[in-house]
Amino acid sequence: MRMKLLMLLFILLFVMGCATFGIKKDKSECDQILESDGTLRATTDGEKVSCYRELAVSLAWISNANDAKDVCNDIRHLGISNPDIQYLTASNANLCYADVAKIARPYDQTICDNIQEPSLIRGLSGGAVTKDLCKKRVKNLEENDPRSYLGGSNNICSIVFIIPLLAFYIHKF
């Protein structure tokens, strides 16, 4: 009985926590910020960059990679409309695409192709490195996906679990 109560409490807290902290689902949630005194104010473009990146990650988690890529693209466009934050938006858009590529299912390395070298400081921003690293990480995640343990080329299940179990069984019996 106690275990059931604890599970119920955990589920209730989990649901309340998700509702309290919330997963962003729409760009309109990034237009205003609730201040500590309870008033709403419009967000600056710099604040929208962070909010849009959170939104893209949230959308990628709820299996909406195309919308997440569009939000990453919107981050890049904020820099076009406001030259003061152009480098901030370029680097955050690149990081946004990298995050979405690693989260979205099925894995898609082509999302990493959206990573660009910012035109402000060519060669120093690491855009090319970020693109290559993004593709490498997505490839590693794809290869180590638990769904490939039993039948894929990376049959880690047999190496880690089945072979030692067979050896133990043969040794004991």
Between 96 and 9, where is the model more confident? 96
- pLDDT at residue number 19: 46
Q: How confident is the model over 149-164, as a mean pLDDT?
A: 61
Which runs of consecutive H residues, i.e. helices, occur in 22-119?
45-61, 65-81, 86-103
Whole-number Å distance between alpha carbons of 73 and 75? 5
Q: pLDDT band for position 56 (50/70/90)? A: very high
- 144: pLDDT strictly greater than 80: no
The H helix count followed by the E strand count for the chain is 7, 2
Contacts of 27 (CB under 8 A, 6+ apart): 52, 55, 71, 74
What's the pTM value of the predicted model, to 2 decimals?
Answer: 0.70
Whole-number Å distance between alpha carbons of 3 and 12? 14
In a 3-state reduction of DSSP, which class is residue 65?
helix
Angle at 12 between CA 6 and CA 18, to 5 degrees: 135
Q: Judging by DSSP bridges, how do beta strands 40-42 and 32-34 pair with one another?
A: antiparallel
